[in-house]
């Protein structure tokens, strides 16, 4: 948004919020559908421009566009069902002794203007109209997007689609604003502004933690929901390592997918040094060696990859398993695979850091006890995976139990890359993979980051929001006196009260 200071932007966002928070869930759902339609109207120009800016293949970007519009539609469906507000009613009891019990009615409400930082690795699904924006707008919050400098034209196009949807739906223009200032300071001012009520971020640990600290130092601290990446440990049990012909190719394609630029990239493989392990290593290395260096999202990410990879490969006890190919341009990232003993891994914090790119480190363990110590040495992760034969999985129940303590999503016999957008998805794990492991940034539960409960005590029916009134024409599920019921409440507009 040119010419406006961050203060202007937040003042506008807050003013728009005072109107938008009363807009019915049905109208918000129609708005989300309109954004999805307008994104589709951008045609393949959007794909072409995003591909030029990010070097991501067009097929991948088309998929991502589908995911983006489906996310918007999923939140619209959630609003139409209505139950997500968790309407809960405990009716009063005037006869209770020694004191009457008041009538208590609680539900979730939007918190206010939300600042969203667009991610570089998902120019559509985690940027301007991505999951953070969709969930915040669905909740009734207004949104200020700090677009990522790596894809400014893509962001501008998607912003124009959102503005057109706002116009068609007759909503206040400032419910969505984009700030395209490419300085770190602009983002910091947005986070520090007193009218900002929450922040959503996907990117580096350094960026997410800096914003989290900044928000914590405000006079009124606010939540920063930062997803800051992960090394996504994959435990390979001995039977499957020995018997599976497909495991090496499956793992290699996940490590190499999108030049390794996924927060769910399997950056750490952990296995026992048993029969078949050496042959597995050779096969995995052969699969990885076939790949050529690919263009990364931006030169900064490529430079960070080369630096982090080189640092990891030069640590004590780390052995490179494939002959590294030379990058021909500064934007390219060549694949890397390395091996280290469990003892050297456990002792070295550098080896537990994310190397964002087509890189993975294999940790060789002597026995199950050492494998457990490796898992216990790990920090919080977005995902953890176990590959095993059906008969050996129960034998390693304790290892699986330890993995569960480290992650937000636990996967059995599948790769961590590929995150479904559903209600049951959890994309957020213990720190430092996320700043708050109780929330997800993918799936419809992402809406709960931007709401807070308010309880109404002894309020007259006419002043209650429709979801909490006795008669409910919205036909939503709600909890009345500890029993889930469907009721009919009249539609009601608080502004008219
Ligand atoms: P980034 O450096 O974390 O930047 C993301 C956004 O945050 C940018 O808009 C950036 O501002 C802003 N930002 C970063 N540090 C900040 C600070 N101290 N104060 C205020 N704002 C700050 O991420 P990136 O550019 O996408 O990639 C860099 C590295 O992040 C990668 O090499 C990779 O390690 C990691 N990464 C992780 C994920 C993941 O899924 N977890 C995704 C992408 C990248 P500007 O717009 O001013 O640059």
Other Cβ atoms within 10 Å of 307 Cβ, number: 11
Annotated active-site residue 263? The verdict is yes
Rounded Cα distance between 440 and 419, Å, is 12
State the distance from the centre of ligand 1 to the C-alpha of 204, rounded, in angstroms: 5
Q: Determine the Cα–Cα distance for residues 269 and 274; give it in Å rounded to an integer.
A: 15
Q: How far is residue 396's CA from residue 391's CA, in Å, rounded to a whole number? A: 10
120 Cα nearest atom in ligand 1:
26
State residue 475's pLDDT score: 79
The answer to whether 127 and 118 are in contact (CB under 8 A) is yes
| Ligand 1 near 263 CB (within 6 A) | yes
Whole-number pLDDT of residue 1: 54
Q: Which CATH number fits domain 233-412: 3.40.718.10, 3.40.309.10, 1.10.1740.10, 3.40.50.300?
A: 3.40.309.10
Query: What whole-number distance in Å separates Cα of residue 229 and Cα of residue 120?
Result: 13
- Which of 6, 53, 178, 227 is the catalytic position? 227
DSSP letter for 366, please: S
Q: What are the residues facing 319 on neighbouring strands?
A: 339
Report the residue among 56, 118, 119, 120 best suited for mutation to probe ligand 1: largest number of ligand atoms under 8 A from its CB: 120
- Rounded Cα–Cα distance for residues 358 and 25 (Å): 43
For 361, phi and psi rounded to 5 degrees? Answer: -115, 130
**How long is the chain?**
497
Please tell me the distance between residue 202's alpha carbon and the centre of ligand 1 in angstroms: 7
Which contiguous run of DSSP H or E holds residue 346? helix 342-347
- Residues (pLDDT < 70) of the chain are 1-2, 327, 472-473, 487-497
Helix ranges (H only) for 55-117 are 58-81
For residue 28 the two structure tokens come to: 């918000």
6 is catalytic: no
| Predicted local distance difference test score (pLDDT) of residue 379 | 98
Rounded Cα–Cα distance for residues 328 and 38 (Å): 39
Q: How high is the pLDDT of residue 486?
A: 79
**DSSP 8-state class, residue 351:** G
What pLDDT sits at residue 487? 60
Q: Which residues contact 66 (CB under 8 A, 6 or more apart)?
A: none
How high is the pLDDT of residue 325?
72
Cross-sheet strand order for the sheet of 88-90? 451-457, 104-110, 88-90, 477-480, 483-486
Contact assessment for residue 354 and residue 231, using Cβ atoms and an 8 Å cutoff: yes
Centre of ligand 1 to C-alpha 81, Å, is 35
Provide Rg for the chain, Cα atoms: 25
**What distance in Å separates the CA atoms of residue 71 and residue 156, rounded to the nearest whole number?**
20
Backbone CA torsion sign across 16, 19, 21, 25: negative
Q: What are phi and psi of 236, to 5 degrees?
A: -110, 110
| Beta-bridge partner residues of 110 | 451
Residue matched to tokens 């040495």? 377
For the CA atoms of 149, 153, 155, 161, the dihedral, rounded to the nearest 10 degrees, stands at 170
Question: What is the spatial distance between Cα 124 and Cα 140, in angstroms, rounded to a whole number?
Answer: 21
**If you write DSSP's letter for every residue of 246-298 in order, what string do you get?**
SHHHHHHHHHHGGGG--TT---EEEEE--TTHHHHHHHHHHHHHTPPPEE-SS
- Given this model, what pLDDT does residue 326 score? 72
Measured over the CA atoms of residue 35, residue 41, residue 47 and residue 52, the dihedral's sign is negative
Q: What is the pLDDT of residue 472?
A: 64
pLDDT tens readout for residues 353-406: 999 999 999 999 999 999 999 999 999 999 999 999 999 999 999 999 999 999
Give the tokens for residue 141: 């919050």
The 10s digit of each residue's pLDDT in 318-329 is 999 997 777 678
Q: Using a 6 Å cutoff on CB, does residue 188 contact ligand 1?
A: yes
Q: Identify the three-state secondary structure at position 343.
A: helix
**Strand, helix or coil at 326?**
coil
The CATH number given to 6-228+438-451 is 3.40.605.10
List 55, 141, 263, 407, catalytic entry: 263
323 lines ligand 1 (CB under 6 A): no
Q: E strand or H helix at 181, and its extent?
A: none
**247-256 and 277-289 helices, crossing angle to 10°:** 40
CB count within 10 Å of CB 377 equals 17
Three-state SS for 291-316 is: CCCEECCCHHHHHHHHHHHHHHHCCC
The structural domains of the chain, with segments of one domain joined by +, span 6-228+438-451, 233-412
Bridge-partner residues for 411, per DSSP? 385
């Amino acid at each position: 948004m040119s010419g406006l200071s961050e203060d202007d932007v937040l003042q506008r966002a807050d003013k728009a919020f005072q109107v938008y928070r009363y807009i019915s869930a049905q109208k918000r759902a129609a708005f989300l559908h309109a954004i999805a339609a307008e994104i589709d109207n951008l045609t393949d120009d959007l794909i072409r421009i995003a591909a030029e800016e990010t070097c991501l293949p067009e097929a991948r970007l088309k998929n991502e566009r589908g995911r983006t519009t489906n996310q918007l539609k999923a939140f619209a469906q959630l609003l139409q069902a209505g139950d997500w507000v968790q309407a809960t009613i405990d009716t009063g009891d005037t006869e209770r002794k020694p004191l009457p019990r008041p009538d208590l009615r609680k539900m979730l409400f939007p918190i206010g203007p939300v600042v969203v930082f667009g991610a570089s690795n998902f120019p559509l699904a985690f940027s301007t109209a991505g999951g953070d924006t969709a969930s915040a707008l669905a909740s009734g919050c207004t949104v200020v997007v700090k677009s990522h400098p790596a894809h400014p034209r893509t962001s501008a196009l998607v912003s124009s689609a959102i503005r057109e949807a706002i116009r068609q739906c007759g909503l206040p223009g400032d419910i969505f604003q984009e700030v395209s200032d490419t300085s770190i300071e602009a983002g910091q001012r947005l986070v520090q502004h007193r009218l900002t009520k929450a922040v959503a971020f996907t990117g580096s640990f350094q960026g997410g933690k800096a914003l989290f600290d900044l928000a914590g130092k405000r006079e009124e601290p606010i939540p920063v929901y930062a997803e800051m990446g992960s090394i996504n440990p994959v435990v390979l049990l001995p039977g499957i390592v020995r018997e599976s012909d497909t495991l090496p190719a499956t793992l290699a394609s996940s490590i190499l997918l999108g030049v390794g630029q996924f927060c769910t990239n399997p950056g750490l493989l952990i296995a026992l040094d048993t029969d078949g392990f050496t042959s597995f290593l050779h096969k995995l290395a052969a699969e990885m060696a076939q790949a050529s260096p690919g263009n990364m999202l931006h030169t900064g990410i490529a430079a960070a990859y080369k630096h982090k990879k080189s640092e990891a490969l030069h640590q004590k006890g780390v052995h490179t398993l494939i002959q590294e190919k030379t990058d021909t341009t500064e934007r390219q990232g060549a694949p890397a695979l390395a091996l280290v003993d469990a003892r050297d891994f456990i002792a070295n914090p550098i080896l537990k850091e994310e190397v964002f790119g087509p890189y993975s480190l294999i940790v060789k363990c002597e026995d199950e006890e050492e494998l457990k110590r490796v898992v216990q040495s790990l920090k919080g992760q977005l995902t953890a995976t176990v590959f095993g034969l059906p008969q050996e999985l129960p034998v390693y129940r304790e290892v699986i139990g330890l993995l569960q303590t480290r992650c937000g999503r636990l996967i059995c016999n599948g790769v961590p890359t590929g995150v479904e957008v559903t209600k049951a998805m959890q994309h957020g794990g213990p720190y430092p993979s996320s700043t708050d492991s109780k929330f997800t940034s993918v799936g419809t539960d992402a809406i709960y980051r931007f709401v807070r409960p308010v309880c109404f005590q002894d309020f007259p029916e006419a002043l209650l929001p429709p979801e909490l009134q006795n008669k409910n024409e919205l036909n939503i599920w709600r909890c009345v006196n500890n029993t889930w019921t469907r009721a009919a409440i009249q539609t009601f507009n608080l502004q008219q009260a």
